[in-house]
Amino acid sequence: MASIATQSKAVIDYIDRARRSDRRTLISISGPPGSGKSTLAEAVVEQLNQRAQDSSHAALLPMDGFHLDNELLIQRNLLQRKGAPETFDVGGLYELVVIARTDVGDIHYPLFDRALDRSLVDAGLLKANTSIVVFEGNYLLLDAPIWDGLADLFDATVFLNPRLEILEKRLMDRWLGFGFNAEQAKRKVFDNDLNNARLVLEHSGSAGLILGEGE
């Protein structure tokens, strides 16, 4: 597979072509779980800030902050499906993207705390002087109600498209790394993660830049 350095250069070149002068430039990096989108998004933001010699020039906004609370998922019998589209506050995410485009001041947004397994309201801060915002998440191009309105709000869209067997190995390694035993990790991967991965791969809209295709 292409290295993070190669992929991040391709994304930055793409961002440079899509830059706005009248407002913040909004980018989405999406793909199935285990595709490496979080790592890529972090690398892109870091390199943009290093190039600008300004730590606030670009910012990363993860979609994970819009996970619904576990208590609500239990009420809806969705806890075992956590990470699926219906377990996110897509309306709140949509509103944040709109605000990021139009609001010139500081903006607070939620962040997901993996240790606590819940979202923390207003834990993130998008500064007024940030000119490039990179959103990352599984479903930013999903062809489903509300989700499908997001693409038009972004100035550039990136999609990571690795093979399922690559995702399977990465996801197993992820859950084992979190301390799950082999049987628990398999249930996580095969009962939920790979179902979500197939949904993303089969039902995402077109992106301006596709990475990992055929790898």
Q: What is the pLDDT of residue 192?
A: 86
Instruction: Record the tokens describing residue 112, joined without a space.
Output: 């997901």
Q: What is the pLDDT of residue 191?
A: 87
Q: What is the pLDDT of residue 1?
A: 54
Claim: this prediction has a pTM higher than 0.75:
yes
Residue 200 lies in a domain: no
Q: What is the pLDDT of residue 151?
A: 96
Residue 47 lies in a domain: yes
What domain range is 12 assigned to? Answer: 4-163+205-211
What lies within 8 Å, CB to CB, of 55 at 6+ separation is: 49
DSSP one-letter string for 134-193: EEEETTTTBSSTTGGGSGGG-SEEEEE---HHHHHHHHHHHHHHTT--HHHHHHHIIIII
> Alpha-carbon distance 139 to 207, whole Å?
12
Q: What is the pLDDT of residue 112?
A: 96
Q: Report the chain's terminal Cα–Cα distance, integer Å.
A: 6
Residue 9 lies in a domain: yes
Contact present, 112 and 119 (Cβ < 8 Å): yes
Q: What is the pLDDT along the chain (215 residues), one digit of tens a residue?
A: 578 899 999 999 999 999 999 999 999 999 999 999 999 999 999 999 999 999 999 999 999 999 999 999 999 999 989 999 999 999 999 999 999 999 999 999 999 998 899 999 999 999 999 999 999 999 999 999 999 999 999 999 999 998 888 898 889 898 899 888 999 889 888 888 899 999 999 999 999 999 985 44
Domain count, the chain: 1
Residue 195 lies in a domain: no
Distance of CA 76 to the CA centre of its chain: 24
Contact present, 31 and 138 (Cβ < 8 Å): yes
Q: Which residues of 170-192 are buried (b: 16+ CB within 10 A; e: fewer)?
A: bbbebbeeeebeeeebbebbeeb
Residue 17 lies in a domain: yes
Residue 175 lies in a domain: no
Q: What is the pLDDT of residue 214?
A: 42
The enclosing domain of 71 has a CATH number of 3.40.50.300
Residue 24 lies in a domain: yes
Q: What is the pLDDT of residue 213?
A: 56
CB atoms within 10 A of CB 214: 7
Contact present, 20 and 157 (Cβ < 8 Å): no
Residue 168 lies in a domain: no
